[in-house]
Structure 1
């Protein structure tokens, strides 16, 4: 990718922001070397890595990345025979520990059921070097000091060293506390010169202590003398320190050799940790800009939903929909320099570079971006004083280079194309340049002041006009991109609002040709039409959302109704059966008594009459038929067609087939409800019935889409009763059998008042408080008559 373009589109500034999110020098090194890729496969891989890291941040909010160091130089030096310092060994152990913590963190997420294939694969590449980490930490503390426990010999040497030092201090303290010390010593302290213990003795008493003079004060009045009595002890202390240093070097050498033995594994650990740190650096940046993972393609298609410039504050940047590469491959943004055109160019260009570098983009989910082999940009005033070039010449030098290198898989961004020269010649050049780039199949976006290019967008296939909206009321740009609408000059309107006399404006309008007036009028009409279309689309989406919610509520209510009906029917049949069974038992008892009477008293009761009576009793017993569940093996009697009348077994209801939605499912109309039903759940009844799909409600308008609940929380009592009365009328009109009113618990005053009102309502059959799953005493459930 051209480095000049990276600078022009401010990709370097993004990298500066990225550096702040890196947890180690390894991550920072990866950021500094980051460049966009022109390979679709590589970009998709990078995007998947960033997305997986973002998933972890969303779940946990962090990842343990502390304590990571770039130990590659240490490992290399260990390999060639150098001895590592204690601090270098501490950094090595810390890095091993960090790799272990990251492994445990990711393993735990995977055990919890999270799918993290990229991170799983990466941690598998890290060797487990816990024994080496343990050995280093047992020998060196976190400050880089070699511990006594590093070896038994070092412990013994340090014991002797401390004993010798203690004896020296004891002798010197005796000298300092002597009765002549205050006279002969400059200060009653023990100090060190040249790694040997000494006393500060006044010049005139230099012979009293004997021994060796190591230093003197600046004035020469104080001499730092090692008394003769401790010279031998100081010599002994020096010997122990040399032995200590030898033993420390021996310990460091042993640890260095062990690091060298694991050099390959350590280099791999560093590599993986760098990749993981870089993944989470990109994910943290994406979270800051509220970025999303773009869908990448190699077809030159760009579809950015509510895209913002990454370097602008989120609360200031105006989001825009930017699309290119399907219906058209070139966009010409015309209109005055009211602000926003250049930002739009940079937003598209920088978002493309971010995506190709594996970074998330500040746009809504589902945005699509293309992988280009090159991105070219001629943006801003690049006048070169050193080369004595004008602005126009400087731009032309850049454009000439672009035309040499542009290919079919390039994105080209021109800002103020053809500016800086005669308007007619500049417009002609701009049209020719755009034609040349378009003919090569590249994707191109250009901004211009020239009105001639408005016609260019209408006369060329694959080219579309666009503009950045300008508010006449506030005399400022709104920064909204309007694709399909060329820009207006707005000069007369702005001048009028700023107070320019009307006669001056009228006179100026007289100098404008009829064609120009018609074009401006057409553009104004297009802008109004686009605004109205957007407003109507927004209202239509809201109506659609409400209709879908109502449809789902009705489906849920109907299912509950049919289930309750079946449940009540079965309960009634069971109760009836119990009554008849009881009657049968009594009848059996009577029959037994009759037989007994016939035997005992010879009564004229014939056997066939008894059998007949018993049969009549059995026939009176109702047969309980349980709801037949649809089975996958059940077959319909004939091939079903739209318009057929069928029986839906799972609801025990009749319906009409509307259309087949898949190989195994039909859309069925049952009363006011449409549902998807499996073919195995249908039984053919009657064919070729023409069915017209009816809307959910005959009353139009969003005010009459009634929900199954009314929320009164926070309402005053009088207002609440007015809303309840209207809601009940609307629910009755919609044909609901049951609705709920949410009044909350609170003091109970609103609940009591609403329930009293409902009990006296002409259409209410029953009122009850909600059950545990319905909201409890904070909800009243109403059944209509």
Structure 2
């Protein structure tokens, strides 16, 4: 990455600004020195962490990272053989270990319900942090939370001895200072420290009063600083004990340093991950303060686009600009007046690309999309170099030549005032030849220019798009807005007049312009007006599109509600069937057993007939209730615009081979035969069912079927074998979860994994036998244990063709659709 280019595009200044939000020295240094990533996966990971921090900060749970002392230099000391870390370094390392463990526990402990969704990038990073609890325990076993050495057992005896000696010295000194015979001999009753030893300030005239060692004499010679002989011995003992204490402390620190050196690799890994967390948090905070967003990825179908972009160094003075490329456009040529904002526009776009590839949000609005580049080049400003005898034009051409050698399809190139600094005609020719070469290399190019030839060039090349910076003719001031699709005038005469040039000179210049070249100003003004009209029309279209989208959303919402009601009705019907079986199965089993075990008497025969009569009455009652619900449901469906068209009885003539809708279902079925009076036999998928003619509706137009297995499934009824036959063969099923009833939905919620798997395997067998090819499994989300077991069982079953999660509106990852082969 060319550092000069990064400086020209203000990238380094922005990184320094973002780094001020870091909590650690390592984070600030890393962010200030960061270069844009050329690996898209790495860039996406950094962006994902930044977006996760934004959600965490907005949720008010951004408290896990805290400031701490730097530790990178400590790692270098630990790698040195027999190195001894000072207490300050050990304390800094201890705080680092605690910080790492707090972050790891915060993101990996079972506190998902307390954290917002969408922070998986942070959780993944935190899970990679090594466990430093052992190192932390070793450090804080030696020092306390304030960073001071603890009163360890091996130090207690030495410290106790030192205290005892100091008391003895104090008592000896006190015996001199309180002696009445020495009151006139001492300059002060308080001891004085000299070379770390307690001495007495004795008047020179009383030299013989106290026997001892003279450590110092005052400048006047009137005072002697003397250490009495008995105090000398105690002071010597004190020095020996203090040296012994230092040696013991050094031994403890040496042992601890050697122990901590084993964790050097873990320390470095943890520091790298903690720095990534710190820098991505800083990027999120900077982005929130500057009203930034994380840009989306641009691709072939969604080209580059920046919406209401503001250069971050202009702060509130920045005028938001919009730049949008069309498909296959790779070159942007911006023209317009001096000081109109051309250079700021291209620098803003290029800076955004750099920030985006560094995991830093950009000050723009939602909808901003940026491509991914692997190299960046810029030629901006006056490049005159006296030392190398290069003129402005020569310096620019040297830069352009280097770009042409290195540019490719993954390059972003910024060329400010291309072709300037020499003869306009030749400069324009060189500029067009340069663009030809860059277009051939398929590079992404941003150009600013005043050359009229390049304006025409932008129209004649399909890879180019013209743009201009707007100019207010009323006050002769630039508005700094970018107008896409039309070139701009340089407005040199207007600006020169406003800058103070006389009217006479302006008129003379205008005559030269009119005589020497064709005036294209009128053409440009016409294009500008047409562009404004087009922009207004596009705005109106966008408003209409938004309105249509809202209406479409309402229709889709209504359709989902209808589907949900349909499913609920099916579930209720199936539930009633199961209840019916459970209530009557045991009674019927007893009757069959009685018939088989004893003689058939009139009393038993009447008992069986009565049971059958009651059973028929119960079925008729349930059928009547279901018919009522279906009629109510059909009435609701006819009031919706998205339902299949309902037909009154007698309006349609049904025949074999005709496609129809059955009952209240949206599933298409085929009439395959004539049933009883007023009924037809229809086939939906592999199922054949009998339907009343009044419940059928012609399916005139083929509609795209939903991918949901439930929406494709026909109305379903299970035909059981005659009870006497099943009882005789010993296959009569029992009531409960294991009953041989094929169902569209299997609920496993609240079941243990082993029981749930058995129920699922049995249900697959039942559905295979009964011919039900699709059903759903409700397993819930929870800890994912039941979900994982269900998917493993489905994957290993030879009868299962495919399975997938339900859409969000039908349960999402808590429900799985299954299709049998």
Q: How far did 1:74 drift?
A: 4.0
Partner of 2:341: 340
Task: Summarize deviations over 1:751-773 as a string: whole Å, max 9, x none.
Answer: xxxxxxxxxxxxxxxxxxxxxxx
8 Å CA contact 1:294, 1:360 repeated in 2: yes
Counterparts of 2:141 and 2:417 in 1: how far apart (Å)?
A: 68
Match of 2:377, SS state, is strand
Partner of 1:626: 629
What residue is the counterpart of 2:47 in the other structure?
47
Q: Please give the per-residue CA displacement for 1:534-582, whole angstroms capped at 9, x wherever unaligned.
A: 334434544555676688789999999xx9xxxxxxxxxxxxxxxxxxx
Name the structure 2 match of 1:444: 445
**Which residue is 2:368 aligned to?**
367
Count the aligned residue pairs. 609
Partner of 2:320: 319
3-state SS in 1 of match to 2:131: coil
> Does 2:429 match 1:422?
no
Q: CA 1:385–1:488 in structure 2 vs 1: closer, same or farther (change >3 Å)?
A: same
Question: d(CA) in 2 for partners of 1:653 and 1:188?
Answer: 118
- 376 and 309 in structure 1: CA distance in 2 versus 1, 3 angstrom threshold: farther
After TM superposition, give the deviation of residue 377 of structure 1 in Å. 0.8
Partners of 2:326 and 2:544 lie apart in 1 by 32
Kept after mapping to 2: 8 A contact 1:457/1:464: yes
1:155 CA displacement? 0.9
Q: 1:664 aligns with which of 706, 710, 734?
A: 706
Q: Is the 1:331–1:446 Cα contact (8 Å) retained in structure 2?
A: yes
Evaluate the alpha carbon distance shift between residue 543 and residue 185 of structure 1 in structure 2; reply closer, same or farther with a 3 A threshold.
farther
CA distance in 2, matches of 1:639, 1:175: 128
What secondary structure sits across from 1:315 in the alignment? Answer: helix
User: What are the within-5 Å matches in structure 2 for residues 107-122 of structure 1?
Assistant: 107=108, 110-112=112-114, 114-122=117-125
Q: Distance in 2 between matches of 1:173 and 1:360?
A: 72
- Cα offset for 1:415? 0.5
**Which aligned pairs between 1:372-451 and structure 2 lie closer than 5 A?**
372-451=373-452
The Cα of 1:469 is off from its aligned counterpart by: 0.8
Q: Specify every segment of 5 or more residues in structure 2 that has no aligned partner in the other structure, as ranges.
A: 565-623, 638-643, 647-653, 667-693, 716-821
Using the alignment, how far apart are the partners of 2:698 and 2:482 within structure 1? 48
The residue aligned with 1:36 is: 36
Q: 1:473 to 1:61 in 2, by over 3 A?
A: farther
Q: How does 1:427-576 map to 2 (within 5 A)?
A: 427-491=428-492, 511-513=512-514, 519-542=520-543, 545=546
How has the CA–CA distance of structure 1 residues 558 and 186 changed in structure 2, closer, same or farther, with 3 Å as cutoff? same
Measure how far apart 1:86 and its partner are. Answer: 1.2
- In the alignment, what sits opposite 2:245? 244
Corresponding residue number in structure 1 for 2:99: 98
| Structure 1 residue 477, shift from structure 2 partner | 1.5
| Superposition TM-score, scaled by structure 1 size | 0.68
Matches of 1:520 and 1:488 in 2, distance apart?
A: 7
Worse-superposed segment, 446-455 or 223-232: 223-232
Deviation sequence 1:237-291 (CA, Å, 0-9, x none): 2222122112212221222232123333333322322232233233333333333
Distance in 1 between residues matched to 2:560 and 2:119, nearest whole Å: 40
For each residue in 1:504-557, what CA deviation from the matched residue of structure 2 results, as whole angstroms up to 9, or x when unmatched?
A: 877765554499666211211222222233334434544555676688789999
1:161 matches 2:203? no
Q: In structure 2, the residue corresponding to 1:139 is in which secondary structure?
A: coil
- Does residue 132 (structure 1) correspond to residue 135 (structure 2)? The answer is yes
CA contact (8 A) 1:301 1:369 kept: no
Partner of 1:69: 70
Pair 647,415 (structure 1): closer, same or farther in 2 beyond 3 Å: farther
Residue 2 of structure 2: aligned partner: 2
- Distance in 2 (alpha carbons) for counterparts of 1:120 and 1:464: 44
The corresponding residue for 1:190 is: 191
- Conserved 8 A contact 2:108-2:126: no
Paired residues of 1:168 and 1:230 also in contact (CA < 8 A): yes
Shift of 1:97: 0.5
| Alpha-carbon distance between aligned partners in 2 of 1:394 and 1:147, rounded to the nearest angstrom | 66
1:664-696 CA distance string (max 9 Å, x none): 299xxxxxxxxxx978899xxxxxxxxxxxxxx
Indicate the residue corresponding to 1:141 in structure 2.
Answer: 144
**How much has 1:158 moved relative to structure 2?**
0.8
For residues 703 and 68 of structure 2, the distance between their equivalents in structure 1, rounded to whole angstroms, comes to: 57
Q: How high is the TM-score relative to the length of structure 2?
A: 0.65
Asked if structure 1 preserves the Cα contact closer than 8 Å seen for 2:330 and 2:443, the reply is: yes
Map 1:756-767; keep pairs closer than 5 Å: none
Equivalent residues in 2 for 1:665-680 (5 A)? none
Alpha-carbon distance between aligned partners in 2 of 1:540 and 1:181, rounded to the nearest angstrom: 108
CA positional deviation for 1:307: 5.1
Q: Does 2:127 correspond to 1:85?
A: no
What does the per-residue CA deviation read over 1:355-389, in whole Å, with 9 as the maximum and x for residues that have no partner? 22232222333422222232111101121122232
Contact between 1:300 and 1:325, CA under 8 Å: does it hold in 2?
no
Contact 1:304-1:363 within 8 A present in 2 as well: no
Q: Secondary structure of the equivalent of 1:343?
A: helix
Aligned to 2:16: 16
Structure 2 counterpart SS, 1:404:
helix
Q: Distance in 1 between matches of 2:698 and 2:510?
A: 66
Partners of 1:71 and 1:91 within 8 A in 2: no
CA, structure 1 residues 127+329, in 2 after alignment: closer, same or farther (shift >3 Å)?
closer
Q: Structure 1 residues 538, 263: closer, same or farther in 2, change over 3 A?
A: same
Q: Secondary structure at the match of 1:215?
A: strand
Q: Secondary structure at the match of 2:189?
A: coil
Q: CA deviation at 1:483?
A: 1.6
Q: Is the 8 A contact 2:49 2:119 kept in 1?
A: no
SS in 2 for 1:225: strand
User: In the superposition, relative to structure 1, how do residues 209 and 256 fare at CA in structure 2: closer, same or farther (>3 Å)?
Assistant: same
Q: Following the alignment from structure 1 to structure 2, what is the Cα–Cα distance between the partners of residues 34 and 488?
A: 40
Q: CA RMSD in A?
A: 4.3
Deviation of 1:98 after TM superposition, in Å, equals 0.5
